[in-house]
Homo-oligomer: A and B are copies of this chain.
Amino acid sequence: MKRFEKTSITIKDIAKKAGVAHSTVSLVMNDREHVSPKLREKILKIANDMGYMPNMVARSLISKKSSTVGVVFPENPHFFTITYFLMIIEGIQNACKKYNRALMFFSLDQTKGESYYQISRKWLIDLMIIMNVDYTRDISKDIQDLRDNGIYFSFLTKYLGKEKVNSVCVDNFEGVRIALEYLASQGHKRIGFIAGNPNSADGPERSEAYKALSRKYGFDQDDELTVQGDFTFESGEREMPKLLTLKKRPTAIFAASDYMAIGAMRVIKSQGLSIPKDIAVMGFDNTLEAAYVEPSLTTIRQPLQEMGEKAVDLAIRSMNDENFEPQTLALKPELMKRQSC
């Protein structure tokens, strides 16, 4: 055995020292029955004295599952600097602590060409959180593969496919309603709307909610009041001038994301206009930056940490309960009153 110069303490070492079979040690380590309390004590003591650490990899191999949570996130090169995702990850991390699992990250970019299932199999991950869905490709097959192989997962964002899957999202309709109600209560009647990424799940949903509700609240219905962004700061900066140069300027702007709202604010301020006196601005998400901008951004809070945590919870429940029906959790948003409205 010269191949491995250094070997760490294994159950065999413990077994030898305790004068028992290694399988007995395994039973003790897994808190299973059929071991007398006295022997159990003895083995635990020896294991502790020797500084035994279970080898999770060996465990994973035999059990065909690693006790990790795999998070698959989008191809976006600057994923990690988007605080929106970060706050979700914090929630996932909390859940991992709770369930005593390690956390692994996969960017689809990195694993180019590999499907969710392939990633999971490669690393024996039995629990996946899929952070967004690229709706330009069909993922029914991916889902089927995961299902067929006993891999439990949740989507983070609403899943738009036909399948019943675990997914956690925010109640966009309610969020938009709260936002518009607040704007209405402030006396606004003419609202500019900056829509979000049409290829996402949230973008169209918020747009539709806006369309439906703006009528209800008696806002002006001109088409030119809606411009198309993609959730990014830059798109807010790009689209805002279109709204500012309208013959009849809106008195308030509702952006489908904080980033777009912040981009829009920058344009508004650069025109020498005052927020909220000349134009009020309302965002959506409550990312970290919302509290830091000047004036601070009134926005709709998504419970992002909670969403991350719940996504893991759902997947765990699916795993533990055969009969658990995959479900979509739409969490309630909340109005964050700040200075921009």
Question: Is there a chain B Cβ closer than 8 Å to A123's Cβ?
Answer: yes
Residue of B nearest to A294 (CB): B294
For the complex formed by this chain, how many copies does it contain in all? 2
Q: Does A132 contact B (CB under 8 A)?
A: no
Which of B105, B121, B262, B293 has a CB less than 8 Å from the CB of A8?
Answer: B121
B292 touches A122 (CB 8 A): no
- Measured between alpha carbons, how far is A106 from B103 in the docked complex, in Å? 7
CB-based contact A55/B103 at 8 Å: no
- A288 located at the interface, meaning its Cβ lies under 8 Å from any Cβ of chain B in the complex: yes
Stretch of A32-40, A76-84, A196-204, A320-328 contacting B (4+ beta carbons < 8 Å): A76-84
A114 contacts which chain B residues (CB < 8 A)?
A: 53
Q: Are B121 and A55 in contact (CB under 8 A)?
A: yes
Interchain CB contact under 8 A, B89 and A53? no
Judged by a CB distance under 8 angstroms, whether A58 is at the interface is yes
Cβ-based interface call for A253 (8 A): no
Report chain B residues within 8 Å CB of A79: 90, 93
In the bound complex, do residue B55 and residue A57 qualify as a contact, i.e. CB atoms below 8 Å apart? no
Pick from A21-29, A60-68, A211-219, A221-229 the stretch touching chain B.
A60-68
Could you tell me if A103 and B105 are in contact, using CB atoms closer than 8 angstroms? yes
- Tell me whether A150 and B292 are in contact in the complex, defined as CB-CB below 8 angstroms, given that A66-B57, A78-B90, A103-B104 are known contacts: no
Pair A93/B66 contact, Cβ less than 8 Å: no
Bound state CA distance, A197 and B80, in angstroms? 25
A289→B293 CA distance, assembly (Å): 8
Kindly list chain B residues whose C-beta atoms are within 8 Å of the C-beta of A110.
96-97, 100
Cβ of A56 within 8 Å of any chain B Cβ, yes or no, is yes
Contact code string A92-124 (vs B, CB < 8 Å = 1, else 0):
010011001011111101100010001001111
A78, A122, A149 pick with most chain B CB within 10 angstroms: A122
Residues of B within 8 A of A123 (CB): 56-57, 102
Partner of A122, one of B54, B78, B81: B54
Inter-chain contact A56/B93, CB cutoff 8 Å: no
- Given A57-B61, A293-B294, is A86 in contact with B93 using a C-beta cutoff of 8 Å? no
Measured between beta carbons, the chain B residues less than 8 angstroms from A148 are 6
CA A54 to CA B111, docked complex, whole Å: 13
Closest to A288 in B: B81
Supposing A57-B57, A57-B123 touch, asked if A102 and B104 sit within 8 A by C-beta, the answer is: yes
CB distance B53 to A122 under 8 Å?
A: yes
In angstroms, how far is the closest chain B Cβ from the Cβ of A21? 20
29 contacting pairs across A/B (C-beta < 8 A) = A4-B64, A6-B148, A6-B149, A6-B150, A53-B114, A53-B121, A55-B121, A55-B122, A55-B124, A57-B66, A57-B124, A58-B61, A68-B104, A78-B90, A79-B93, A81-B86, A81-B87, A81-B90, A83-B83, A83-B288, A93-B105, A93-B107, A97-B107, A97-B110, A102-B106, A289-B289, A289-B292, A292-B292, A294-B294
Give the 9 A-B CB pairs with smallest separation, nearest first. A294-B294, A80-B90, A103-B105, A97-B110, A57-B60, A57-B124, A289-B292, A53-B122, A292-B292
